[in-house]
Structure 1
Amino acid sequence: MDCFRTTLLNKTPQADYESQRHLRWWILIRVILFTLLFALTTFFREQGHPLILPAASVTLLFLLGLYSFSILSVLLLNRRLCSIHQYGAIQLCFDVFFIALLVYATGCSDSDFSALLILPVIAAGLLLSRLGGLFIAAVTTFSYAAILILEQLRWIPVYFSATPYTPPTSFLASSNLFAIYGLLFFLAALLSGQLAGRLRITEKRLAHTAIEFDRLSILYKQIFDDISTGIITTDQYDFITSFNQAAERITGFSRSTALGKPFSQLLPNISLQEEQGRNVCDFQKQHGEAIRIGYSFSFLNMPVQKESEEKQPLRWKVITLQDISQIERMEKQVREAEKMAAIGELSASVAHDFRNPLAAISGSAQILATEKDDLSRLDAGTFKTLIGIILKESGRMAKTITDFLQFARPATIQAEWFDFNRMVDEVLMRRRTATFALMTGTVIKEVDGRLDCWGDRQQIQTVLNQLLDNACQAAGPQQGKVVLAACERVKDNQAEVQIEIRDQGPGIPDEQREKVFIPFFSSRTDGTGLGLAIVQQIIAAHGGRVEIDANAEFACVIRLLLPLPPPTP
């Protein structure tokens, strides 16, 4: 009994509340059940059916006692004189007593109500767990044994003689009946206790899941309301289903105004017909303020009820909004600052590049000015050298200015189809003129006989000139060959022209391959650092890319990949 009491006391307040509620229901069921039983038996007796029942006055007295006890039980239940499970055990013991009294008064072993003894056992297994059910099963078994013993001793009511009562034929028959009912009581206690145990485990897990769900719901709501990004969801019919505080602040619409409205009607500037991704639009808030909104949307995997007329499934959407007006203003300021910094750096680079050529030109001019009265004193070699210095440095200054303008103010792409082979011939022919005599190296052409290229012919020429200048400078006179190769290839279903400038110079170190495209970065003392920057700028404008590579024969390979448009049908 102590172990049973310990088990009963080891309950949570929530379990006590549930047990108290179940006990109230059980008391109500007790009253209804006994009332119906006596009403039905009385009705059948009046119809002439042979039943074993006490006198009507005794039945009425029994019912009054039962009602009084039930009312008193409910009143004492609220007083909490003992633990709720101890109180439940007491109530079920009294139920066993009332049912046993009913069985004794209606025929003992021949009673039609003997099966009712199993009800308190089942109720105990559900309300008091397995141990409580076994306890009530034992009480019920002893009570039924007492009824059978009284019957064997012939201590039975006198009115049995006037009823179709059949006494037991032998003690063995009573023992057999006791064994069957006793086994039935304990089996019911075990099964109901097992069911109640599983039910309690399920309730505990369900309660834990509900708590976690509530916690996650609160966390989700807190994040949804406090996040700085506006979040809007729409159902399959484009009606707004949620609208967080950031969306209210960005759009100027209140949540009560937005919920239930068609998204396209409330926010017509935001188009959700485009592909998923980041988009930007101008937006006028409800109070008239004009802002820039960055938005994106994606589909939610929510169940839908029907498809559109085009047989496309209608889907839920989640839209995210951000006011990017301040960000764009800051980006513009950063770009302006970067532009001014680039202009400053470019000006410093140009000034530095002009200083040396101007010094050389000035020195040569001063010598010529000194001998202007009698130029015959200058030998032809010296005169030619001075004129060559002036021409070379003037060309260098002109190239610096050209690179500066090309990088600072790139021309618009005028794309067309042209014969790449013929253009290469023109570039190489021009390089053989006297102007480029000092920096022209041996260039080997490896171009397909018929190669059509798509792009701006003039700008592609500029790219080839820049790369050939670098390659010839790197190879140096009589130190190696320079190869210009080109062919058409197809990669990932995209046709493109591949152009390679290869040289046998010292190559570009791995740590400098990312830096060579940065404006003003140069490893040569006479370089402007704009050549490869201009190359990358032009190729990127054509939608292509520049790669730097090397192999066993050539220390440096500059590879240009220019995409070709798909053929027209």
Structure 2
Amino acid sequence: MEALRDKLKWLMGIRVAVVTLTLGVLIYLQIGKSTQAIPAYYGLIVATYLLTILYGLLVNRIEWLVPFAYLQIGMDIVFETVLVAITGGVESPFSLLFILSITTASALLSRKGGLAVASIASIFYGAIVDLQYYRSTYQITLFDWLPRTELLVTEIFYNLSLNLLGFIMVGYLSGTLAEKLRSTGERLEEKDRDLTGLQEFHQFVLESIDSGLFTTDPEGRLTSFNRRAEEIMGYSQAEIRGRFWWEVFAWPAPTGQSGILPAGLSHRLEEVGRRKDGTRLILAMSLAPLQARGRSAGLVGVFQDITPLKKMEEVVRRKQWLATIGELSAGLAHEIRNPLAALSGAIQVMRKDLYTTDVNRPLLDLALRETERLNGIVSDFLQYARPRPLNLKQCDLNELVQDTIQLLGQTLEYAGQIRFVRRLALDSVVAMVDPDQMRQVCWNLGLNACQAMADGGTLTVATRRVAPRVGETEGESVEIVFEDTGPGIPEEHLHKIFYPFFTTKEGGTGLGLSLVHRIMDEHKGSVLVESVLGKGTCVKLTLPITGTVAQETR
């Protein structure tokens, strides 16, 4: 109905323009001539303007638009009849105005409306011609207001028949055309809705998949980036449009300057990329040429962030390696410990037989000290390889951390050089842990951090609760963080720091972090190490707060 309302508004404007132009020209041509029709012309113009104003006031308020359209077109027929009557009747050139009204009715009211208006126009025009005929033939004074005609009767009826037939034919043909146009328009609208729905569905599919997806033009410039791609890379659609795709992923162009693969060739790769904020991530990507009607239209790529998966694989691989090393080395350590005990006993016996002034006594003292040190290393390794069962208790982790920091702060070697910062949770953080082993973990990490800051620095220790992520079934956990301002760990060493006997410190055994990893693994926790050269190292311990560990241990 709103479409009909808009068409009626157009009709009002066109009506004013046609009447003004037609009657204005007619008045101009009649100026200076003795005619009584000029006041009638002015009357038609004024009446048209007044009715148009009335129509304009009603068009936005009235609800019955179809009767309103018939009313307007009916008034147009009346005005056209008057104009035809005063401009020559059967000889009037303005009989063509009836055709305009008939065409308008067909456009607004379909073929039915066009034929109805054509019938009304035929009746009104036929009445004018009949009255003019009787006025000219029988000199009836009642119709003196009609102009005379000099046409013969046959000519009058010829013109009448021709116009009436034209009215009906125009009404039928224009109505048929209007219906076809309307039907075609409805089909086009339906197709447009289907196409829009298909496009929206296609867009929903692209936005819903859990993989990043992008497309490029033939030059390799990005044309689209789905929602998941934006989340992985940190760029918005507007920021990447028009850029080369390999620049966004911080890669070199894979094939020459265009970065477009040969037709029909797909490619899969795993590469290290960078997010917008510079964060390092590992991407698995599948690339394929984008074909449009047999011609290359660019490139389509699907990618995923597999950084967490790679970290998990590394953790599993490390655990398997550590377990294998532990099992193989435990027997060897026992075999070393037995002769080492015999060697230590023999040296002690020999030492008792020597005088305090004997020159060999210092050598035996040195051998005894090194034997004890070697025995300590073997004991530490056995503790790592075959740990004792956990003695789980409800412990406040804040107190464990506080005790460790207090011991380190009282150590003369670090008391004046290291600044200790505590950022402990305000509430007590209670978890099921083995207190002795957790003290060992905290001491090893704190000691490593202090030793790394030989020239002084800051050791920040924090505890905080961590809520479970959306979709995870695990409960709440707690993090213990040791962050130093030391020189950092080279990237090539990060994956080795938990290996037994791996150390970069002079005199170190390489078992401290291995023991930390084993204890955290026994507690069903995890260790995450992040380090930046020149800025320092951050070690995050994550422990479950619930009693899962205790239940599994029992």
TM-score (norm 2): 0.51
For structure 2, list consecutive stretches of 5 or more residues without a partner in the other structure. 136-141, 256-260, 325-554
The answer to whether the Cα contact below 8 Å between 2:214 and 2:225 also exists between their aligned partners in 1 is: yes
The answer to whether the Cα contact below 8 Å between 2:37 and 2:86 also exists between their aligned partners in 1 is: no
Instruction: After TM superposition, give the deviation of residue 335 of structure 1 in Å.
Output: 8.2
Instruction: Provide Cα deviations, 1:385-432, integer angstroms capped at 9, x if missing partner.
Output: xxxxxxxxxxxxxxxxxxxxxxxxxxxxxxxxxxxxxxxxxxxxxxxx
CA distance in structure 2 between the partners assigned to 1:201 and 1:341 by the alignment = 77
* Cα pair distance change 1:167/1:338, threshold 3 Å: farther
Instruction: After TM superposition, give the deviation of residue 336 of structure 1 in Å.
Output: 9.1
CA distance in structure 1 between the partners assigned to 2:298 and 2:109 by the alignment = 49
Question: What amino acid maps onto 2:174 in structure 1?
Answer: S
Give the structure 1 partner of residue 302 of structure 2: 320
Give the structure 2 partner of residue 166 of structure 1: 149
Aligned length: 311
The answer to whether the Cα contact below 8 Å between 2:115 and 2:168 also exists between their aligned partners in 1 is: yes
- For residue 42 of structure 1, the aligned residue among 1, 9, 27 is 27
Q: Secondary structure at the match of 1:128?
A: helix
Instruction: After TM superposition, give the deviation of residue 153 of structure 1 in Å.
Output: 2.0
Is the aligned partner of 1:289 residue 2:279?
Answer: yes
- For residue 123 of structure 1, the aligned residue among 101, 104, 107 is 104
Give the structure 2 partner of residue 102 of structure 1: 83
Residues 51-450 of structure 1: pairs in structure 2 closer than 5 A: 54-80=36-62, 83-154=64-135, 156-158=143-145, 160=147, 166-170=149-153, 172-269=154-251, 271-273=253-255, 275-301=265-291, 315-329=297-311
Instruction: Provide Cα deviations, 1:129-148, integer angstroms capped at 9, x if missing partner.
Output: 11111111110010011101
For structure 1, list consecutive stretches of 5 or more residues without a partner in the other structure. 1-15, 305-312, 343-569
CA distance in structure 2 between the partners assigned to 1:181 and 1:206 by the alignment = 36
Question: What amino acid maps onto 1:194 in structure 2?
Answer: T
Q: Secondary structure at the match of 1:223?
A: helix
Residues 516-535 of structure 1: pairs in structure 2 closer than 5 A: none
- For residue 33 of structure 1, the aligned residue among 18, 27, 33 is 18
* Cα pair distance change 1:31/1:286, threshold 3 Å: closer
* Cα pair distance change 1:238/1:35, threshold 3 Å: same
Instruction: After TM superposition, give the deviation of residue 46 of structure 1 in Å.
Output: 4.5
Instruction: After TM superposition, give the deviation of residue 74 of structure 1 in Å.
Output: 2.0
CA distance in structure 1 between the partners assigned to 2:149 and 2:161 by the alignment = 20
Instruction: Provide Cα deviations, 1:524-567, integer angstroms capped at 9, x if missing partner.
Output: xxxxxxxxxxxxxxxxxxxxxxxxxxxxxxxxxxxxxxxxxxxx
Give the structure 1 partner of residue 358 of structure 2: none
Q: Secondary structure at the match of 1:282?
A: strand
CA distance in structure 2 between the partners assigned to 1:282 and 1:256 by the alignment = 24
Instruction: After TM superposition, give the deviation of residue 88 of structure 1 in Å.
Output: 0.7
* Cα pair distance change 1:233/1:209, threshold 3 Å: same
The answer to whether the Cα contact below 8 Å between 1:270 and 1:281 also exists between their aligned partners in 2 is: no
Give the structure 2 partner of residue 429 of structure 1: none
Give the structure 2 partner of residue 508 of structure 1: none
The answer to whether the Cα contact below 8 Å between 1:293 and 1:322 also exists between their aligned partners in 2 is: yes
Instruction: Provide Cα deviations, 1:485-522, integer angstroms capped at 9, x if missing partner.
Output: xxxxxxxxxxxxxxxxxxxxxxxxxxxxxxxxxxxxxx
Question: What amino acid maps onto 2:69 in structure 1?
Answer: G
Instruction: After TM superposition, give the deviation of residue 190 of structure 1 in Å.
Output: 0.9
Instruction: Provide Cα deviations, 1:142-161, integer angstroms capped at 9, x if missing partner.
Output: 0011101110221555584x
Instruction: After TM superposition, give the deviation of residue 41 of structure 1 in Å.
Output: 2.0
Question: What amino acid maps onto 2:125 in structure 1?
Answer: Y
* Cα pair distance change 1:95/1:272, threshold 3 Å: farther
Instruction: After TM superposition, give the deviation of residue 281 of structure 1 in Å.
Output: 1.1
The answer to whether the Cα contact below 8 Å between 2:290 and 2:296 also exists between their aligned partners in 1 is: no
Q: Secondary structure at the match of 2:84?
A: helix
Instruction: After TM superposition, give the deviation of residue 328 of structure 1 in Å.
Output: 4.1
Q: Percent identity?
A: 27
Question: What amino acid maps onto 2:241 in structure 1?
Answer: L
Instruction: Give RMSD over aligned pairs.
Output: 3.2
CA distance in structure 2 between the partners assigned to 1:104 and 1:246 by the alignment = 75
The answer to whether the Cα contact below 8 Å between 2:27 and 2:41 also exists between their aligned partners in 1 is: no
Question: What amino acid maps onto 2:277 in structure 1?
Answer: H
